[in-house]
Amino acid sequence: MPDAVRTVLEEIFRDDLQIDLSKVTRDSHLIDEVGLDSVAFAVGMVAIEDKLGVVLNEEELLGCNTVGDLEDVLAEKMRSGSDQARQ
């Protein structure tokens, strides 16, 4: 699952946010190193919902400091969503 999340995040960073992926790692800070601002966060949230079917609230998103944090939150939400679907 994390690889799928990583692939989609890379697509969002590259295609929706025009970010140079050669400078992005799991440890990259979303604001300071990746360069996300409030508009980019909003665009990213919409793209994540469209491409992964995961809705992040503002608190969850603001709790993510690095790309890895965001990947982990998305993977967990996808896991818990599929767990709920099986019940």
pLDDT in tens, 34-52: 999 999 999 999 999 999 9
Q: Which residue ranges form the domains of the chain, and what is each CATH number?
A: 2-86 (1.10.1200.10)
pLDDT in tens, 21-35: 998 999 999 999 999
Q: Which residues contact 46 (CB under 8 A, 6 or more apart)?
A: none
The pTM for the full model equals 0.86
Identify residue 49 by its one-letter amino acid code.
E
CA neighbours closer than 13 Å in the CB half-sphere of residue 45: 15
